[in-house]
Amino acid sequence: MSAATNVCIIGIGIHPFGRTDGVSGLDQGAYAVRAALADAGVGWGDVQFAYGGSDAAGNPDTMVDRLGLTGVQFINVKNGCATGGSALFSAQMAIRSGEFELGLAVGFDKHPRGAFNAMPAEYNLPEWYGAAGYMVTTQFFAAKIMRYMHLHGISRRTLGLVAQKAFANGVHAPHAWRREEVALDTILDAPMVSDPFTKYMFCSPGEGGVALLLASERKARELGIRPIHLAAATMRTRPAHSFEVFAPSIDIGGGVNTATRLASAAAFEKAGIGPDEIDVAQLQDTEAGAEIMHMAENGFCADGDQEQWIAQGRTRIDGALPVNTDGGCLACGEPIGASGLRQVYENVVQLRGAGGGRQVPGTPRTAYSHVYGAPGVSAVTILHT
Amino acid sequence: MPDAPLHLMGGRHRQSGRITFPHPGDGFDTVALPSRGTLWSYTVQRFRPKSPPYAGPEIFEPWALAYVELPGAVIVEARLVEVEFDAIRIGMALELTKVALDPAASAPVWLPAFRPATEDGQ
């Protein structure tokens, strides 16, 4: 790698997550782009290419109407929950190849209220599967953690502690949707949505936009920007015998190998560091169980260690491995196209030391992000200062 | 007329031997799956899924959803019936039955379901 092809993040922008009535998803994306440009001190005319993703809020490339008709190369990405991660992966490849030196990854979304509403035909499933009431993502997450808790001795209280931490962290993140602490008893005693999860243990589909400006290391230095290095960006699909959302059947002995394990191993190999060298991590937490399982799937601990880790507060902001420092999906909600980029945004904030009340102490130097989604896709990034 | 014994029909991949449910179509042989197994995992659906695609009754009663390991074959997703939610345990022995999507319908749509296994399997 050379200064011409090493990739850095030079600007970040976010439109607050949650519900913003009267502002389209696309405009939330454009807002984030303007913020990222201002953050880096460059103009829209300097942007050579863009990769944009949205699951449900329109074609990202139409954003040029708002930002300027410069003729910029703008490619749309659609990859389920890995949309943002895939946009970022594509953007860094464009720079790594030597083709470009400054470009954009942007993601936004605006989902209707309530649970996601997938149709069986979109997943090659028969109509009866939907009629039976099985096209419900929450069922999968609940069944996956129920099995995991049984195998590895994870208690429901630990699920509650994960949610409690998320809301406590969200208080200090201006871009978060849920910004009030919730007591552990309130979380545990709330109405059950899908056993073992109560309503406080699931994130909600929401709205938001995130933009990241990428540049070659050479370009960043030319602009006088202290770069945050993108050491690795990987995206993988599911291996054989995995257990994914909308699975009418699973192979016996299955459910152990995951897209996450593949993406994570590849990212660590590419970055040349191990999990014990990561200072802060954002792990997909669409519900409280996901964060627990993803701690192990991403190589940070062994299956079952989470019970003790969380009891000891090791994933809190002042712990050995702070996880989801802005409250993750639980506190920010999940606009699919923006979610994975929010994690990277938060990591850049942390590496810059700009986290305010949620800042990880002791000058973190490495940061990890992980996103997972249907039908078994995962994207990982590793940043370092 | 007694009902014929129930069986779920899966597909066995001609090259790899991997069994999946439901039968995926071309390239798979049809196999009758075992009608007894053990509970691999479960949850309880506590809110009414969105329609479409859900076609159950308007008035919603929570139901349990199971993944059932059928020995030597595959783990299948199905309803879990005839057991209190609080009494559900991973590993419990189950047998195949069926449940109406809408019990009040005159011509109900039947769904595969499992219930706690009876001693003799009848």
Position of tokens 């001795």? A153
Rounded mean pLDDT of chain A? 96
Q: What pLDDT is stored for residue B121 in this prediction? A: 52
CA A31 to chain centre: 19
Backbone angles phi, psi at A220, to 5 degrees: -60, -45
Task: Select from B67, B70, B55, B68 the least CA-distant residue to B100.
Answer: B55
Question: What's this model's pTM, rounded to 2 decimal places?
Answer: 0.95
A–B interface: beta-carbon pairs under 8 A: 104
Q: Which residues pair with B112 in a beta bridge?
A: B98
pLDDT digits (tens, 9 = 90+) for B68-112: 999 999 999 999 999 999 999 999 999 999 999 998 999 999 999
Task: Please give the Cα distance from A52 to A371 (Å, whole number).
Answer: 17
- Min CA distance, B83 vs chain A (Å)? 15
From residue B121, give the alpha-carbon distance in Å to each of A3, A179, A198, A201.
70, 54, 36, 39
- Min CA distance, A248 vs chain B (Å)? 5
Asked if A146 and A287 touch (Cβ cutoff 8 Å), the reply is: no
pLDDT digits (tens, 9 = 90+) for A285-308: 999 999 999 999 999 999 999 999
Asked if A60 and A54 touch (Cβ cutoff 8 Å), the reply is: yes
Above 80 in pLDDT, residue B4? no
Asked if A55 and A80 touch (Cβ cutoff 8 Å), the reply is: yes
Above 80 in pLDDT, residue A349? yes
Tell me the Cα Rg of chain B: 15
Which 3 state secondary structure label does DSSP give A181?
coil
Percent of chain A with pLDDT over 70: 100
Q: What is the mean pLDDT of residues A154-176?
A: 98
- Which chain A residue has the Cα nearest residue B41? A147
Task: Please give the Cα distance from B76 to B97 (Å, whole number).
Answer: 13
Which 3 state secondary structure label does DSSP give A143?
helix
Above 80 in pLDDT, residue A382? yes
Task: Enter the DSSP assignment of A12.
Answer: E
pLDDT digits (tens, 9 = 90+) for A245-293: 899 999 999 988 999 999 999 999 999 999 999 999 999 999 999 999 9
Asked if A32 and A104 touch (Cβ cutoff 8 Å), the reply is: no
Q: Which two tokens stand for residue A149?
A: 């808790």
Q: What is the mean pLDDT of residues A360-371?
A: 97
- Which chain A residue has the Cα nearest residue B78? A248
Task: Please give the Cα distance from A280 to A322 (Å, whole number).
Answer: 5
Asked if B31 and B10 touch (Cβ cutoff 8 Å), the reply is: yes
Q: What pLDDT is stored for residue B1 in this prediction? A: 45
pLDDT digits (tens, 9 = 90+) for A221-245: 999 998 899 999 999 999 999 999 8
| A119·B53 Cβ contact <8 A | yes
Task: Select from A237, A193, A256 the least CA-distant residue to A372.
Answer: A237
Which of B43, B85, B109 to probe the A interface (max A CBs under 10 A)? B43
A260 Cβ neighbours under 8 A, 6+ residues apart: A236, A284, A294, A297, A298, A370, A372, A378, A380
> Which chain B residues are closer than 8 Å to A131 by Cβ?
53-56, 101, 109
Q: Which residues pair with A232 in a beta bridge?
A: A382
* Pairing state between β B110-116 and B74-80: parallel
From residue A267, give the alpha-carbon distance in Å to each of A17, A293, A302, A379, B31.
28, 18, 18, 9, 41
Query: Beta-carbon neighbour count of residue A331 at 10 Å?
Result: 29
Q: Which two tokens stand for residue A92?
A: 């860094």
Task: Enter the DSSP assignment of A323.
Answer: B
| A134·B50 Cβ contact <8 A | no
- What is chain B written as a DSSP string? -PPPPP--EEEEETTT--EESS---TTEEEEEPPSEEEEEEEEEE-SPPPTTT--S-SS---EEEEEEEETTTEEEEEEE-SS-GGG--TT-EEEEEEEESSTT-SSPPEEEEEEEPPTT--
Asked if A88 and A54 touch (Cβ cutoff 8 Å), the reply is: no
From residue A103, give the alpha-carbon distance in Å to each of A48, A67, A73, A75, A211.
5, 14, 9, 11, 10
> Which chain A residues are closer than 8 Å to B55 by Cβ?
130-132
Q: What is the mean pLDDT of residues A204-213?
A: 96
Is A303 or B119 the better-scoring residue by pLDDT?
A303
| B20·A133 Cβ contact <8 A | no
Q: What pLDDT is stored for residue A80 in this prediction? A: 84
pLDDT digits (tens, 9 = 90+) for A115-143: 777 899 888 899 999 999 999 999 999 99
- B108 touching A, CB under 8 A? no
Percent of chain A with pLDDT over 90: 91
